[in-house]
Structure 1
Amino acid sequence: MRQQFLSTMLACALLLPGGTASAADSVRLKDIGRFGGWRDNMLVGHGLATGLAGTGDSQRNRATRQSLANVLTQFDLIIPQDQIQSRNVAVVMVTATLPPFARTGDRIDVTVTSAGDARSLLGGLLLMTPLKGPDGRVYALAQGPLSVGGYKYGLNGNVVQKNHPTVGGIPGGATIEVAAGSEVLRDGKLEFLLAEPDYTTASRIATAINGGFSEPVAAALDAGTVSIGVPAEWRGRLVGFMTRIESLNVQPDQRARVVVNERTGTVVAGADVTLSRVTISHGELRVSVVTDYLVSQPVLPLRSGPGVRSEVVPQTRIDVAEPPAQAVQLGLGSTVGDLVRALNRIKASPRDMIAILQGIKAAGALRAELIIQ
């Protein structure tokens, strides 16, 4: 397992022979950012799931009884809340994501979660539920049968459960009633937003865009925003202008990072992470404490005497083993891949690898950002 881990990390750290990343790696602009105004919108609603086979909310849930009474009043049925007794209904919260440029009549997926004490939503039907945005306006209506993908059955204290039966979904369960406006052109300019802000990458994007047109139209405003002016000849062909920009290639700059997950013992490092001159001494001190319990029995003539009993006598021994420390020395310009190979030779464990990286960072020899999860 130890050998497999170190070999896996070595393969991740060395993208190319010699541990150097390719300088010709370039990506499309649409893969590293987006235009301003292009965003999703969150929708949420409160509704009822009916048709549950006795697994709905209990009578203690007043919100369920009040919601069901409100629904029945729309059909000219006036029933007091205290007279509503049903375990086939559950109050639920409904969420959805309204994509950009969605049109009226389009259908989107919804997620339904129990908001009460229902045991399962299996077999339930969501009643028509309005989905509202942050401005309180209704943008979609959701309704349909729930797809749970789990179950929960119990009898006499025995419970069998698979997945989470109190969460379900309805594919295409909501119909958009009001389209969300997306304004990408403001004052005759577009804004390109980087997914990972970086000043060098933003400058390269502006240079690539200016090189793709006959006039300078782009300028980097900050590490995450590039302002793009629309030339006069492209004003009536905005879609084509944006398509041409998205298709441009640029080489993004990458910050050297080493990600460490202490819970799983995982270390992920980029190929361009280098080390300064450093010497690592790795050793282990193993202390083993073993206790044996012996029972002392009284001799036969004294067994029946007053106050005579068996006695448990612990015997403890301590073993200390300190193997000689093994040293690893790395020269200037060594990479994390070189470090992995060196630690692989001395058979260091993944936990030791994490501790060594933390020590190298504290010593100032790791030329990267160390992220501990």
Structure 2
Amino acid sequence: PFAQPGQTLDITVSSIGNAKSLRGGTLLMTPLKGADGNIYAMAQGNVVVATTGGAPTGSKPAANHLSVGRVAAGATVERPVATALGQGNLIHLELNENSFSNAKLVADAINRRFGRDTAAAQNGRVIRVRVPTGMDEKVGFLASLESIDVRPERAGAKVILNARTGSVVMNQMVALNPCAVAHGSLSVVVSANGSAQPDPAQAAQIEIKKEPGQVLLLKNAPSLADVVKALNTIGATPQDLLAILQAMKVAGSLRAELEII
């Protein structure tokens, strides 16, 4: 938004034909069209293909994807995109994630700064804000609005899994309920056993078996991080990890939102 004619933008170039490599190539002048068929920018320039770092001494670095590259400042804006910012006295703020708690926090913070009834949460994502009608006043109002500090509510437990690489990201410690999952040659058992010692603390166990007979036993509190670490230790594939986490989620053992990218 707000891009003006003459402004340059970085672009990504990808081969749609049978070209195997764009390294050292040049993008000829190409019009960039919008969904309405109008041309909004013209692109051209030398294509740069990123390479992986950390190559052994004396060897050539390998490219991640030879058929995809970037052209820095390769596009020049020819037509601005219309915006409705200067029309009316209402704007709508949209949160990145749905959250009624955060929507109320944002509306309350705006009302404390600019006065009662300035902002109102429409739902868990959109906040309606009354702004001045004059363009100069509107810009100053929005500048002050951006400076408001809002401390969001703590997000719920979430696990993000990259199905291609097997990378797992958690926003907090994710505990597991007892469960048993069998997937191919892998067997995952999460259990919590009462200790017979005077200490009343619970002794939790995570047991992972592989067909050749390799067994890993993790003690203390059962967490998803322990399971993922153990699975990676015995060489589980990303597909194995994906299937096991999905099974745990369906069984109710994984007490977190599971997102697969």
Which TM-score band (shorter chain)?
A: 0.5 to 0.7
* Structure 2 counterpart of 1:244: 144
Q: Distance in 2 between matches of 1:166 and 1:326?
A: 44
* Structure 2 counterpart of 1:218: 119
Q: Distance in 2 between matches of 1:111 and 1:245?
A: 33
Distance 1:276 1:231, change over 3 A: farther
Shift of 1:147: 3.2
CA contact (8 A) 2:86 2:135 kept: no
Deviation readout 1:108-137 (Å, 9 max, x if unpaired): 222332232234444443332221111100
CA RMSD of aligned residues (A): 4.2
* Structure 1 counterpart of 2:236: none
Shift of 1:210: 0.2
Deviation readout 1:124-166 (Å, 9 max, x if unpaired): 433322211111001112233333457xxxxxxxxx9942443
Superposed, 1:148-167 pairs within 5 Å as 148=49, 162-163=62-63, 164-167=65-68
Secondary structure in 2 matching 1:187: coil
Distance 1:350 1:265, change over 3 A: farther
Secondary structure in 1 matching 2:141: helix
Matching residue within 110, 123, 128 for 1:227: 128
Q: Distance in 1 between matches of 2:79 and 2:27?
A: 21
Which structure is larger by alpha-carbon Rg, 1 or 2? 1
1:132 aligns with 2:132: no
Matching residue within 60, 69, 84 for 1:168: 69
AA of the residue aligned to 1:218: A
Superposed, 1:161-310 pairs within 5 Å as 162-163=62-63, 164-231=65-132, 236-259=136-159, 261=161, 264=166, 266=168, 268-270=170-172, 279=192, 280-283=204-207
Secondary structure in 1 matching 2:115: coil
Deviation readout 1:79-112 (Å, 9 max, x if unpaired): xxxxxxxxxxxxxxxxxxxxx1111111122233
Secondary structure in 1 matching 2:114: coil
| Segment drifting more, 111-120 vs 258-267 | 258-267
Superposed, 1:1-373 pairs within 5 Å as 100-148=1-49, 162-163=62-63, 164-231=65-132, 236-259=136-159, 261=161, 264=166, 266=168, 268-270=170-172, 279=192, 280-283=204-207, 339=222, 350-351=230-231, 362=251, 368-371=255-258, 373=260
Unaligned runs of 5+ in 2: 52-59, 179-190, 193-203, 234-240
Secondary structure in 2 matching 1:206: helix
Q: TM-score, normalised by structure 1?
A: 0.47
Identity of aligned residues (%): 29
Deviation readout 1:231-274 (Å, 9 max, x if unpaired): 46x76411110111111111212332141648647462425x67
Q: TM-score, normalised by structure 2?
A: 0.64
CA contact (8 A) 1:119 1:165 kept: yes
CA contact (8 A) 1:103 1:176 kept: yes
Unaligned runs of 5+ in 1: 1-99, 151-159, 289-319, 329-337
Deviation readout 1:52-82 (Å, 9 max, x if unpaired): xxxxxxxxxxxxxxxxxxxxxxxxxxxxxxx
CA contact (8 A) 1:219 1:226 kept: yes
Shift of 1:275: 7.8
